[in-house]
Amino acid sequence: MDRIYKELIALSESNMYPFHMPGHKRGKQDFVNPFEIDITEIDGFDNLHNASGILNEAMKNAARVYGADRSFFLVNGSTCGILAAIESVTKHGEKIIVARNCHKAVYHAIFLGELVPIYVVPDIIEGYSVSGGISSAKIDELLKNDKDIKAVFITSPTYDGVVSDVEAIANVVHKYGIPLIVDEAHGAHFKFSKEFPISALDLGADIVIQSLHKTLPSLTQTAILHIKSQYIDENSIETALNIFESSSPSYVFMASIDECIRYMQNEGQVKMVLFSKQLLEFRHNLSAVLKRGKFSLLDSEAIGLADIYSLDISKIIIGTFETNISGKELYDILVTEYDLQPEMSSENYVTLLTSIADTKEGFNKLEHAMADITEKYVKENAKACDDKSNNNLLAVRNINIPEIKCSIYSAMKSLKESIFIKDAIGRICAEFVYAYPPGIPIITPGEKISFEVAEMIYNFKRLQIGIEGLKDKKIQQIIVVKEG
Amino acid sequence: MDRIYKELIALSESNMYPFHMPGHKRGKQDFVNPFEIDITEIDGFDNLHNASGILNEAMKNAARVYGADRSFFLVNGSTCGILAAIESVTKHGEKIIVARNCHKAVYHAIFLGELVPIYVVPDIIEGYSVSGGISSAKIDELLKNDKDIKAVFITSPTYDGVVSDVEAIANVVHKYGIPLIVDEAHGAHFKFSKEFPISALDLGADIVIQSLHKTLPSLTQTAILHIKSQYIDENSIETALNIFESSSPSYVFMASIDECIRYMQNEGQVKMVLFSKQLLEFRHNLSAVLKRGKFSLLDSEAIGLADIYSLDISKIIIGTFETNISGKELYDILVTEYDLQPEMSSENYVTLLTSIADTKEGFNKLEHAMADITEKYVKENAKACDDKSNNNLLAVRNINIPEIKCSIYSAMKSLKESIFIKDAIGRICAEFVYAYPPGIPIITPGEKISFEVAEMIYNFKRLQIGIEGLKDKKIQQIIVVKEG
């Protein structure tokens, strides 16, 4: 194993085309050796945690661009924005509504604050098994029945590009006088073209957190938090960010954020129009190609769920569930035979991410690859998937919330033990177990392991597919709270 | 105000010599445009939060170099290491001994965990007004009287290079079966030369957190956490780091950390020997030069405090308290007339930081500048400082701990108001107020504002010197918990 730096250089010099994050797609920016511009807060430069000079100006500019009351640069990713947002709107032990399919940082915030989470669960999109949107009616119902809830947190768009009806949700939430926080980590580009969904910030969300590296040309780990609200105290957000971000924030990151936003407000606008046009054309062509091999492209037509407001077309999600190859197999073929690096795969689809930094050549390469693959691998007109061993598993991915026996905090901080899954029925879970897709916890710490949950985890573990978070690598084990 | 990036480029092209952090001193590294090597966890690369490949190898190598049981790369600075260390060894509401002169991240960890802090206060070094070392006897006394204390946290070396007797402290702390956490943010270089103090990790500390960018050639915001202990659960540290660090950690940072450590275990060793030799010679010469103008160099001889075990010679602290110019004035002269950028200044000294990346030319430049300055500015054999208006203020910098009325958490989360300092006597403070130097809070949230504290803050604010943290910029105001 060589040095990390050498491995990265080797990758950057390879022919592999990146259909994955970060959105800058490697090396398009005019940026020098980072050591040359890496400083701390010396004279003439500003302090992120009490900005009054050049950083303050840059953040004000970002707020103007996004139409926020206030914007904060984040050097510890969307992660620190999520932690700070939740910390600032709650006190220890209070209640918060969160979408069950939210990012792990939300669960971490619940842990830190010993919060009482009240979950809304999205429906699952058939075939792909990815999460749908969050229902405003379900949130209304929950808020009507409990006046102690302090905030609502949802993820929109999801990793898969599914956008909820944020406007409807914001209207409901504001009826009860509390704030809506939207994790828009995957939607920082929405603002810059009409072909993309409207940003949550323009639809009434009070705090919106966006990763800049995921879909725009900025360095990995850079993000931004926007406030536009009468329900949020800016000072308490600032205090909380001060906690969750380094006291020596990187000027390389802060310059990258500033450059990214200035690019998007200038030449980026035109590039974005070209990109959307190219993307629509590409999706049209790809869709036709895919159908020849029973592959499918996740698009608005493919979905029948009521709670989905829109889809982010920059996410190329190719379903394999009606073919005789798995998502993982398609992924491997793309990497090894076509030098195309997708973002990820599951059993039944492959995700490829596009951005403003993609090229016509990249799109063509992918289209030709898929044309070739449909020809070569699935020419005998693809079997249906009913002979696939994991079919039953996919069917059960509508996740129910287990009974909550104690807080995530108590469970994580208690004495734990690793036991056989078959012996764990009725016990309190002490770890997170995620189903992938849809990226929703099957169970979280503090929840009771039912027979159904135990069976699901056991089966997933046995097949070694679609499951994450289990610390004990032994197939039959799970970590639970020690009794007695 | 121009773009941040442009300002940084302009600085990097200036002639200003950097006697400040970061330790790489700009641009010595062989590093490409960061966008070329900036990726996320795709195939063949590793996941920091569950490392098993290239990152795991790199962290194992770091552990070998530092002699740790386990080392973790940190991409959110020492800040996240401090938060994670304290989170992992305490539960909400528990007690912890902390040195009152610790970093704000420690206070943040106390806030997050609603912890009960028990403070040890270092003595203050006369003239310079910087903190001395932490007394093992005081810690023993505190632990003897309270068996509910879960951990001890100290900073060594301090920002000013003062090293406590970590070995004695570790022995005391371990007698009570609890861990010692040492914030060694400013001492990552100790391991690499005999001319520097011994690292806390080799003296019995259980968790040691080091910034890599402060004194070694790595990018700002990079750090490392070491464990070497029978009292620490590695899994709970890992879980806590997972919370306080981005879920999209920067490969640019991780490569920088790896390169830094590999450099230090190879050619860095030789460079370090040369650096120490050069440094000792420089300090000898500088000391002679300074005495001609009644300036002084903070060194072992200059200190009479019992609790100081050692000093980090790489910190050049020039005292001005026996001259007729202030630290701030000396700082300004160095910047504007000599193109030398110090790290910081107070009323009575200037701090300049040196590292392995410094050059003979840099040292010469500083020596000649100081020779020139003693000649030009203080030739009439410098007045004593007893006619300086801030003398009384300096004298009162032996900080006492105010009465604690409620937790930092409760005070920060309560309704607050900004009132006249003269009306604040007897009220509960709702913000941090630091004296600089020595960088110790005069008061923290939850503590009662006594007449003495109010007077000290009022005087400092009026003179606009040596005080930080007050949110309300109006001279006579302080933020307190709202009553009733």
Contacts of B261 (CB under 8 A, 6+ apart): B58, B61, B62, B65, B212
* Residue B278 contacts residue B363 (beta carbons within 8 Å): yes
Q: Which of A387-401, A428-442, B204-218, B442-456 has the lowest mean pLDDT?
A: A387-401
* Mutation choice for A interface testing from B35, B259, B265, B412 by most A CBs within 10 A: B35
Residue B75 has pLDDT above 70, yes or no: yes
Provide the pLDDT for residue B389.
Answer: 45
Residue A52 has pLDDT above 50, yes or no: yes
This prediction's pTM: 0.94
Nearest CB neighbour to B259, from listed A5, A92, A114: A5
Cα–Cα distance measured from residue B76 to residue B321, given in angstroms and rounded to the nearest whole number: 37
Strand partners for A434: A441, A468
Is omega for the bond preceding B34 within 30 degrees of 0, making it cis?
A: no
Provide the pLDDT for residue B393.
Answer: 52
Contact A471 B235 (CB under 8 A): yes
What are the pLDDT digits (tens) for A192-227?
999 999 999 999 999 999 999 999 999 999 999 999
Strand A340-342 relative to strand A349-353, pairing: unpaired
- HSE (CB half, 13 Å, CA atoms) of B463? 18
Contact B112 A112 (CB under 8 A): yes
Confidence band of A385 (pLDDT split at 50, 70, 90): very low
Residue B377 has pLDDT above 50, yes or no: yes
Contact list in B for residue A247 (CB cut-off 8 A) is: 77-79, 103-105
Least Cα distance to A463 among A441, A443, A440, A435 occurs for A435
Nearest-CA distance A418 → chain B (Å): 13
Residue of B nearest to A212 (CA): B248
Least Cα distance to A142 among A184, A113, A108, A176 occurs for A176
Q: Which residue is it, tokens 């289209």? A: A367
What are the pLDDT digits (tens) for A146-178?
999 999 999 999 999 999 999 999 999 999 999
Cα–Cα distance measured from residue B301 to residue B371, given in angstroms and rounded to the nearest whole number: 22
Q: Which of A22-36, A171-185, B200-214 has the lowest mean pLDDT?
A: A22-36
Contact A27 B36 (CB under 8 A): yes
- 331-350 of B, contacting A, C-beta below 8 A: 335, 341, 343
B450 CB within 8 Å of a chain A CB: no
Nearest CB neighbour to A3, from listed B21, B38, B258: B258
Alpha helices in B150-298 (DSSP H): 166-175, 234-244, 251-265, 267-291
Provide the pLDDT for residue B347.
Answer: 84
Is omega for the bond preceding A445 within 30 degrees of 0, making it cis?
A: no
Provide the pLDDT for residue A29.
Answer: 64
Contact list in B for residue A431 (CB cut-off 8 A) is: none
Provide the pLDDT for residue A161.
Answer: 95
- 97-126 of B, contacting A, C-beta below 8 A: 103-105, 108, 111-112, 114
A183 CB within 8 Å of a chain B CB: no
Residue A154 vs residues A73, A96, A151: alpha-carbon distances, Å: 21, 11, 10
Contact list in B for residue A243 (CB cut-off 8 A) is: 83, 105, 108, 111-112
Residue B384 has pLDDT above 50, yes or no: no
Contact B108 A242 (CB under 8 A): yes
- Residue A10: how many CB atoms within 10 A of its CB? 12
Percent of chain A with pLDDT over 70: 94
Confidence band of A335 (pLDDT split at 50, 70, 90): very high
Contact list in A for residue B21 (CB cut-off 8 A) is: 40, 248
Least Cα distance to B386 among B378, B396, B377, B395 occurs for B395
Cα–Cα distance measured from residue B398 to residue B400, given in angstroms and rounded to the nearest whole number: 7
Three-state DSSP at A321 gives coil
Residue B397 has pLDDT above 60, yes or no: no
Confidence band of B379 (pLDDT split at 50, 70, 90): low
ipTM confidence score: 0.94
Least Cα distance to B119 among B103, B99, B135 occurs for B99
Provide the pLDDT for residue B365.
Answer: 96
Confidence band of B381 (pLDDT split at 50, 70, 90): very low
What are the pLDDT digits (tens) for B238-297?
999 999 999 999 999 999 999 999 999 999 999 999 999 999 999 999 999 999 889 999
What are the pLDDT digits (tens) for B423-432?
999 999 999 9
Provide the pLDDT for residue A218.
Answer: 93
Contact A213 B28 (CB under 8 A): no
B220 CB within 8 Å of a chain A CB: yes
Q: How would DSSP label each residue in B401-470?
A: PPPB-S-HHHHHHS-EEEEEGGG-TTSBB-S-EEETTTTEEEE-TTBB--HHHHHHHHHHHHHT-SEE--
Q: Which of A166-170, A274-278, A396-400, A402-406 has the lowest mean pLDDT?
A: A396-400
Provide the pLDDT for residue A265.
Answer: 93
Least Cα distance to B397 among B448, B465, B343 occurs for B465
What are the pLDDT digits (tens) for B17-37?
888 888 888 765 677 888 888
Nearest CB neighbour to A221, from listed B1, B214, B246: B246
* Residue B149 contacts residue B143 (beta carbons within 8 Å): yes
Contact list in A for residue B31 (CB cut-off 8 A) is: 5, 33-35
Residue B376 vs residues A296, B321, B325, B369, B379: alpha-carbon distances, Å: 80, 17, 12, 10, 6
- 15-44 of B, contacting A, C-beta below 8 A: 18, 20-22, 24, 26-29, 31-40, 42-44
Ramachandran angles phi, psi of A376, nearest 5°: -75, -45
Q: What is the mean pLDDT of chain A?
A: 90
Query: What's the rounded mean pLDDT across residues B319-335?
Result: 93
DSSP class of A300: G
Residue B1 has pLDDT above 70, yes or no: no
Contact B258 A5 (CB under 8 A): yes
Within its chain, how far is the Cα of A284 from the centroid?
25
Contacts of A383 (CB under 8 A, 6+ apart): A323, A324
If you count residue pairs, one on A and one on B, with CB atoms under 8 Å apart, how many are there?
Answer: 264
Residue of A nearest to B254 (CA): A4
Residue of A nearest to B213 (CA): A248
Residue A386 has pLDDT above 50, yes or no: no
Nearest-CA distance A218 → chain B (Å): 8
Query: What's the rounded mean pLDDT across residues B145-165?
Result: 97
Confidence band of B3 (pLDDT split at 50, 70, 90): confident
Between B469 and A388, residue with greater pLDDT? B469
Residue of B nearest to A113 (CA): B112
Three-state DSSP at A344 gives strand
For residue A115 the two structure tokens come to 């919060």
What are the pLDDT digits (tens) for A59-102?
999 999 999 999 999 999 999 999 999 999 999 999 999 999 99
E strands within A337-401? 340-342, 344-345, 349-353
Between B307 and B83, residue with greater pLDDT? B83
Within its chain, how far is the Cα of B72 from the centroid?
20
Least Cα distance to B247 among A296, A400, A77 occurs for A77
Three-state DSSP at A230 gives coil
E strands within B302-358? 308-311, 315-319, 340-342, 344-345, 349-353
Q: Which of A351-360, A395-404, B9-18, B196-205 has the lowest mean pLDDT?
A: A395-404
Q: What is the mean pLDDT of chain B?
A: 90
For residue A426 the two structure tokens come to 């009725």
Within its chain, how far is the Cα of B406 from the centroid?
27
Provide the pLDDT for residue B378.
Answer: 65
What are the pLDDT digits (tens) for B38-61?
887 666 678 888 888 899 999 999
